[in-house]
Amino acid sequence: MEASRCRLGPRGDSAFEDETMKLRQLKLDNQRALLEKKQRKKRLEPLMVQPNPEARLRRSKPRVGSSATEEDTEGSVDGESTVDTAPKPDLQEILQKHGISGSLNFDEEETDGEEEGKKLCHSPYSDAERPNSASSQKSTTDTGAYGTAAQQSDNQLGEVENLEDFAYSPAPRGITVKCRITRDKKGMDRGLFPTYYMHLEKDENRKIFLLAGRKRKKSKTSNYLISTDPTDLSREGESYIGKLRSNLMGTKFTVYDHGVSPAKAQGLVEKAYTRQELAAICYETNVLGFKGPRKMSVIIPGMNMNHERIPFRPRNDHESLLSKWQNKTMENLIELHNKSPVWNDDTQSYVLNFHGRVTQASVKNFQIVHENDPDYIVMQFGRVADDVFTLDYNYPLCALQAFAIGLSSFDSKLACE
């Protein structure tokens, strides 16, 4: 009898292990289902940033004696198609009260005085650096101008020959680099630690892989490793290109290249490549619990006369991008902010004009601009499906900076919600 029990022992252990694995998988599936249900419910709230549905109205001739508003002049750029209606005065009043009627790219007829005022306003970018998609000038056709600009950008961008060089190089001036981010939650633990892939969108629905990123599991703070190889996301891998690291609260992030930290570099016998800081992302804390869209600032190194990024290698925390920004010592640095969405009384939601590149509401939807030139969209990011997002960026950002900024929006921010 005893011998029989011994023979059955290994089978019993195996069955027990199988049962344990099944229970663990069931628990993970339940957690993932609850999380997805919560996210779907959250996206229905009016506090999500919506693509502006009124920007997709059919073009009609502007009425005599009035400026052409977005309802009159914008082609099919965002949201669901709707029947052409007259402009809503209450929305216009809200925009004028906030002084941000230009923030939704209203294509208004400009007077000579307005044109002179725009020329006097200092902008960090020249006209050549501004892509057509960021311009607020009136197009000659309904949607042709935006499509033509996209085709021209695709031709001028050319093929990606070296992923690492492309990832580090600023976007060509005057060209919008259009990308797509996909989130992969499949697998045992990817519901909690998904992998993110960045692809360059080309014509004829072609996609070119650029970067992949994944959150490290055993880290005190959020830490994302970024690689040019989708199959190797290790720190020691040859394709490791940079990382995104947050503070304990998840409100401040720093983007590094693949170099070593200054502390480790000092201890090495051979001269090591000290890492560069490529960007810092700061989300405004919400300690009082006020509801509304996220507010974020992005700090990046400045550009030299040859339109190349100025290397920024701090030797300690006091010289970091975050420290410089907090101390307002911004020499050779560029400070960017997210564009403030506008509250729409009709839809009871915050709206932004993403020119058709964003189709679903999400707290992650945002546009990055410089305060001196709010019409020039340096970067925009938004949801088009449950696990698919578009990411478009312009000069002076590079692919690695843009991807890391997008990754920071996925990270949970307890102090910001």
Please give the full DSSP string across 229-291, using - where no structure is assigned: -TT---TTSTTEEEEEEE-TTSSEEEEEESSBPHHHHHH-SSPP-BPPEEEEEEEPP-TT---
pTM: 0.68
Report yes or no on 364 lying in a domain: yes
- Domain-located, residue 34: no
Return the number of other C-beta atoms located less than 10 Å from residue 360's C-beta: 18
Collapsed DSSP state (helix, strand, coil) of residue 156: helix
User: Within a domain: residue 191?
Assistant: yes
What is the Cα–Cα distance from 381 to 405, expressed in whole angstroms? Answer: 9
> Over the Cα atoms of the chain, what is R_g?
24
- Gap between the Cα atoms of 163 and 239, Å rounded: 10
Q: How many domains, in total, are found in the chain? A: 1
Strand 49-51 versus strand 349-352 pairing type: parallel
**CATH code for the domain in which residue 92 is found:** 3.20.90.10
Task: Decide if 108 is inside a domain.
Answer: yes
CB 389 within 8 A of CB 264: no
pLDDT tens series, the chain, 417 aa:
444 444 555 555 677 777 888 887 888 888 777 777 776 666 655 556 777 755 543 333 333 333 333 333 333 334 333 333 334 444 444 434 444 333 333 333 333 444 444 443 445 565 555 544 333 333 333 333 344 445 545 666 777 889 999 999 999 999 999 999 999 987 656 667 889 999 999 887 889 999 999 998 878 888 999 999 999 988 888 999 999 999 988 899 999 999 888 877 776 656 568 899 999 999 987 655 556 677 899 999 999 999 999 999 998 899 999 999 999 999 999 999 999 888 888 888 889 999 999 999 888 899 999 999 999 999 999 999 999 999 999 999 999 999 999 999 988 665 555
Tokens encoding 285: 């804390």
Tell me which residue range forms the domain holding 189: 45-410
Q: Is residue 28 part of a domain?
A: no
